[in-house]
């Protein structure tokens, strides 16, 4: 096995990972720059006994994904900003009805139709707060084709284990980069299965508050005839507007994700232990920041990088710790300042946060980041 | 009595009795439509464990929860899209969508026409009461001309959809319509629709007595039911349609049945055959 690893486009790595994770249903609507994922799924899924369908729009796409997941299939859709906006309705539904599903959002320039073929990181907050009401969300932000592969698998595993929608966000640069990806041997891939309900219908409460806060799911056709709804519901799954049960139902959804934070959270640090200048970045910007750290260190400037891989829930403790040690913190991102809001919230001294933003459809270069840090260093 | 029924139909066998009393208004036609659906399920001898009822939002959307089956109360206008995923993932299930005129024709219109076009083996039962009842009585895509609603205080000026004509034009391989006044006939249409392999669209003409009927002085439930065929029709298209228009005569029964390949079967056969030789 000494053959060179294959070169894969990020979007293709995503599709292959989904299938390796057990995805057997894909519904989507064409949108740049994510379409290669749908195209790859249309080729690959039927070969493994799965189903691909191109729906009439993005609302229908995520609805079909949720429907397939209700039926027991691991299911996914892929889109970009404008489509992701349309999917918010069903992102909320999947959170509320606790339906495992994976939503890939390849970020392009916005707002609105924006710049379809240019990269952006404009959807970081949309992933967290795009739908109405208080709901949990899990969002992952891979930075390379290799990581798209591993994080897409992880997305499925988290979705299935926690009965939750999981969003995977990456920018157009990472989506379209073709780089070598080491594909793990199928047997070594850890694939999580959903906790299925078994047993007596009379004792079964499909939305019960179990120890791990993840109730087992009933597979249709096996005798447990349950009701699922986007309405606030009791443990039996039927609608309620009574303050007690209603509050508990929503609270459990939020607590469910919090309870499993350690399992969900993932981040990378680069030379943060003695960093005076901390850079916080995700996706392709974090890759530029890596280079900037090396260049700055070579010049004797103690720079470091914190890269959230799990974007939501945000790695709060790691951010607090790294930020508290640093003299200044630079949040670099391809938007007008979204990640920065989170870092400012967490840093004890918001005054030490600086921002580096690009919203013109161009990625942030290593030199841009290094120059900004040098400027901060020069100003004490 | 249909000879398919081996035992008498007992609606309690198909209802979640713990959900009673139901929340529908006195005189609402949706209960009759639900009864007709369950009656059809009984006569078709469907296994409740293999039955999925997918509904949207509105009064019609709440009907599904009363059925002792796998029931999915989804989002406004999108039950057909949920059902599409469910049926493709689980061809072994019988999937019935219960929708309403607003759910199916307004916010869900796009999903409807594409479901018709695809011809996946689903049954869509659209309960048409001409109004948004759940939200208090606003105008819907099937509200007849001149009717008063809370958002047409001077009378409705929008023409109404002929949902069955729309479904057939969009490719539905089975189209039927019946009135709740004739529950056995409605049952028979639903039964034929569920038994049909392909996309089946059934419009059940239902009544909203409490809100719509009251607002328009249409009488009590019996009066409204008696006038179902005469009053509830897309009369605004009478002058422009190139087909013979029969006043006071809403076409009911099985309106269309076409032999078209079923989508799920096509998908599976296509996958089994593999990729076409010539590509790239």
Domain CATH number, residue A99 = 3.40.50.970
Do A123 and A184 lie in one domain? The reply is yes
Two structure tokens written together for A215:
């109730």
Q: How far is A279 from chain B (nearest CA, A)?
A: 42
Which helix or strand (DSSP H or E) is residue B256 part of? Answer: strand B253-257
Average pLDDT for B118-128 = 98
Do A306 and A255 lie in one domain? The reply is no
String of DSSP letters for B145-214: TT--BTTBTT---SPPP-HHHHHHHHT-SEEEEEETTSHHHHHHHHHHHHHSSS-EEEEEE---IIIIIH
Do A170 and A151 lie in one domain? The reply is yes
Do A38 and A147 lie in one domain? The reply is yes
Query: Is residue A1 one of the residues assigned to a domain?
Result: no
Do A123 and A212 lie in one domain? The reply is no
CB–CB contact B92 A221 (8 Å): yes
Query: Is residue A194 one of the residues assigned to a domain?
Result: no
This complex has an ipTM of: 0.97
Confidence at A348, pLDDT banded by 50, 70, 90: confident
Rounded to the nearest integer, the mean pLDDT of chain A is 96
Which residue is associated with the tokens 């949990």? A136
Which of the pair, A163 or B5, is modelled with greater confidence?
A163
CA–centroid distance for A45 within its chain: 22
B130 Rama sector, left if φ>0, alpha if ψ -120 to 50, beta otherwise: left
Domain boundary among A188, A216, A236: A188
pLDDT score, position A213? 97
What's the structural domain count of chain A?
3
Domain boundary among A188, A213, A239: A188
C-alpha separations of B244 from A313, B138, B144, B238 in Å: 62, 31, 19, 8
Query: Is residue A2 one of the residues assigned to a domain?
Result: no
Contact call for residues B151 and B138 (beta carbons, < 8 A): yes
For B81, the closest of A25, A59, A227 (CB atoms) is A59
Interhelix angle B263-273/B79-89, nearest 10 degrees: 40
Query: Is residue A210 one of the residues assigned to a domain?
Result: yes
Domain limits for position A217 = 201-262
Two structure tokens written together for B248:
């006071």
Two structure tokens written together for A68:
């397939």
B1: contact with A, CB 8 A cutoff: no
The residues pairing with A331 across neighbouring beta strands, listed in sequence order, are: A280, A355
Q: How far apart (Å, rounded) are the C-alpha atoms in residues B223 and B228?
A: 9
Cβ contacts (< 8 Å) between A231 and chain B: which residues? 73
- CATH says B13-273 is which class? alpha beta
pLDDT score, position B18? 93
Cis before B229? omega within 30: no
Do A234 and A155 lie in one domain? The reply is no
Query: Is residue A154 one of the residues assigned to a domain?
Result: yes
For B270, the closest of A46, A73, A218 (CB atoms) is A46
Q: How far apart (Å, rounded) are the C-alpha atoms in residues A278 and A320?
A: 11
Q: How far is A196 from chain B (nearest CA, A)?
A: 15
Do A174 and A255 lie in one domain? The reply is no
Q: How far apart (Å, rounded) are the C-alpha atoms in residues A269 and A326?
A: 13
Q: What is the pLDDT of residues A59-104, one digit of tens each?
A: 999 999 999 999 999 999 999 999 999 999 999 999 999 999 999 9
Query: Is residue A195 one of the residues assigned to a domain?
Result: no
pLDDT score, position B278? 67
Q: How far apart (Å, rounded) are the C-alpha atoms in residues A334 and A120?
A: 5
Q: What is the pLDDT of residues A178-229, one digit of tens each?
A: 999 999 999 999 999 999 998 776 789 999 999 999 999 999 999 999 999 9
Strands A267-270 and A303-308: antiparallel
Do A236 and A282 lie in one domain? The reply is no
Cβ contacts (< 8 Å) between B86 and chain A: which residues? 67-68, 70-71, 220
A52, A64, A218, A224: best to mutate for the B interface, most B CBs within 10 A = A64
pLDDT score, position B242? 54
| Percent share of chain A, pLDDT over 70 | 98
Query: Is residue A354 one of the residues assigned to a domain?
Result: yes
Domain boundary among A129, A160, A188: A188
Minimal-distance CA residue of chain A relative to B49: A221
Q: How far apart (Å, rounded) are the C-alpha atoms in residues A95 and A117?
A: 30
Return the minimum-mean-pLDDT range out of A45-54, A75-84, A269-278, B5-14: B5-14
A92, A206, A220: best to mutate for the B interface, most B CBs within 10 A = A220
Q: How far is B22 from chain A (nearest CA, A)?
A: 12
For A227, the closest of B65, B83, B267 (CB atoms) is B65
Q: What is the pLDDT of residues B203-256, one digit of tens each?
A: 999 999 999 999 999 999 999 998 887 765 655 455 445 555 555 467 889 999
Cβ contacts (< 8 Å) between A225 and chain B: which residues? 48-49, 68-71
Confidence at B72, pLDDT banded by 50, 70, 90: very high
Q: What is the pLDDT of residues A3-29, one digit of tens each?
A: 788 999 999 999 999 999 999 999 999
Minimal-distance CA residue of chain A relative to B92: A221
pLDDT score, position B7? 87
Q: How far is B146 from chain A (nearest CA, A)?
A: 33
pLDDT score, position B236? 47
pLDDT score, position B159? 87
Do A155 and A282 lie in one domain? The reply is no
CATH of the domain at A361: 3.40.50.920
Query: Is residue A281 one of the residues assigned to a domain?
Result: yes
Do A98 and A148 lie in one domain? The reply is yes
Confidence at A2, pLDDT banded by 50, 70, 90: low
Which of the pair, A70 or B159, is modelled with greater confidence?
A70
Q: How far is B79 from chain A (nearest CA, A)?
A: 8
Q: How far apart (Å, rounded) are the C-alpha atoms in residues A3 and B215?
A: 77
B66: contact with A, CB 8 A cutoff: no
Q: How far apart (Å, rounded) are the C-alpha atoms in residues A145 and A106?
A: 13
Do A132 and A272 lie in one domain? The reply is no
Number of cross-chain residue pairs from A and B with Cβ atoms under 8 Å apart:
136
Average pLDDT for A274-288 = 98
CA–centroid distance for A327 within its chain: 30
pLDDT score, position B219? 94
Two structure tokens written together for A53:
């369908």
Average pLDDT for B43-72 = 97
Return the minimum-mean-pLDDT range out of A345-354, B126-135, B148-157: A345-354
pTM over 0.90: yes
A70, A72, A238: best to mutate for the B interface, most B CBs within 10 A = A70
Angle, alpha carbons B221-B76-B195 (nearest 5°):
70
Residue spans of the domains in chain B: they are 13-273
Do A242 and A282 lie in one domain? The reply is no
Cβ contacts (< 8 Å) between B50 and chain A: which residues? 220-221
């Amino acid at each position: 096995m000494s053959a060179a690893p294959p070169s894969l486009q990020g979007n293709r790595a995503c599709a292959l990972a989904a299938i390796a994770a057990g995805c057997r249903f894909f519904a989507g609507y064409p949108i740049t720059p994510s379409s290669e994922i749908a195209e790859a799924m249309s080729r690959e899924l039927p070969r493994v006994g799965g189903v691909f369908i191109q729906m009439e729009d993005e609302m229908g796409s995520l609805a079909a994904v949720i429907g397939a997941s209700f039926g027991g299939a691991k299911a996914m859709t892929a889109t970009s900003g404008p489509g992701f906006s349309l999917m918010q309705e069903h992102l909320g539904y999947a959170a509320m009805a606790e339906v495992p599903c994976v939503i890939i959002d390849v970020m392009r320039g916005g707002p609105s139709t924006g710049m379809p073929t240019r990269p952006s990181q404009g959807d970081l907050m949309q992933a967290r707060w795009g739908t109405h009401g208080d709901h949990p969300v899990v969002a992952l932000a891979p930075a390379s084709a290799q990581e798209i592969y591993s994080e897409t698998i992880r997305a499925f595993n988290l979705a299935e284990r926690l009965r939750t929608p999981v969003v995977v966000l990456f920018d157009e640069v990472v989506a379209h980069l073709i780089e070598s990806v080491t594909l793990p041997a199928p047997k070594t891939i850890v694939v999580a299965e959903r906790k299925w309900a078994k047993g007596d219908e009379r004792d079964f409460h499909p939305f019960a508050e179990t120890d791990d806060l993840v109730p087992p799911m009933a597979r249709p056709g096996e005798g447990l005839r349950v009701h699922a709804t986007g309405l606030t519901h009791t443990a039996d799954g039927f609608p309620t507007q009574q303050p007690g049960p209603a509050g508990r139902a929503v609270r459990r959804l939020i607590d469910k994700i919090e309870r499993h934070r350690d399992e969900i959270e993932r981040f990378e640090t680069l030379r943060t232990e003695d960093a005076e200048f901390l850079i916080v970045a995700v996706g392709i910007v974090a890759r530029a920041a890596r280079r900037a750290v090396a260049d700055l260190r070579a010049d004797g400037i103690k720079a470091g990088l914190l890269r959230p891989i799990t974007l939501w829930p945000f790695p709060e403790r790691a951010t607090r710790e790294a930020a508290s040690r640093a003299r200044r913190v630079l949040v670099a991102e391809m938007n007008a300042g979204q990640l920065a809001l989170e870092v400012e919230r967490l840093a004890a001294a918001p005054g030490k946060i600086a921002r580096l933003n690009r919203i013109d459809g161009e990625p942030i270069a290593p030199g841009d980041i290094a120059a900004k840090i040098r400027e901060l260093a020069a100003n004490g | 009595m249909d000879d398919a029924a081996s035992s008498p139909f007992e609606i309690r066998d198909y209802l979640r009795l713990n959900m009673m009393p139901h929340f529908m208004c006195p005189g609402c036609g949706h209960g009759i439509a639900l009864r007709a659906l369950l009656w059809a399920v009984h006569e078709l001898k469907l296994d409740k464990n293999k039955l999925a009822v997918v509904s949207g939002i509105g009064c019609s959307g709440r009907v599904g929860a009363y059925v002792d089956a796998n029931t999915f109360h989804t989002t406004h206008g999108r039950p057909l899209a949920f059902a599409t995923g469910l049926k493709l993932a689980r061809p072994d299930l019988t999937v019935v969508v219960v929708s309403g005129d607003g759910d199916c024709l307004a916010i869900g219109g796009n999903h409807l026409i594409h479901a018709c076009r695809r011809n996946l083996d689903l049954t869509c039962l659209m309960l048409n009461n001409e109004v948004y009842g759940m939200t208090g009585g606003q105008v819907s895509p099937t509200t007849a001309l001149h009717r008063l609603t809370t958002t047409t205080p001077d009378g409705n000026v929008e023409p109404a959809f002929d949902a069955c004509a729309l479904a057939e034009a969009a490719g539905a391989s089975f189209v039927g319509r019946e009135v709740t006044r004739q529950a056995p006939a409605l049952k028979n249409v639903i039964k034929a629709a569920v038994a049909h392999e392909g996309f089946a669209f059934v419009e059940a003409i239902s009544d909203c007595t409490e809100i719509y009927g009251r607002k328009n002085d249409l009488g009590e439930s019996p009066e409204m039911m008696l006038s179902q065929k005469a009053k509830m029709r897309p009369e605004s298209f009478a002058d422009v349609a190139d087909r013979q228009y029969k006043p006071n005569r809403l076409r009911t029964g099985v309106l269309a049945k076409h032999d078209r390949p079923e989508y799920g079967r096509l998908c599976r056969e296509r996958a089994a055959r593999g990729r076409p030789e010539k590509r790239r």
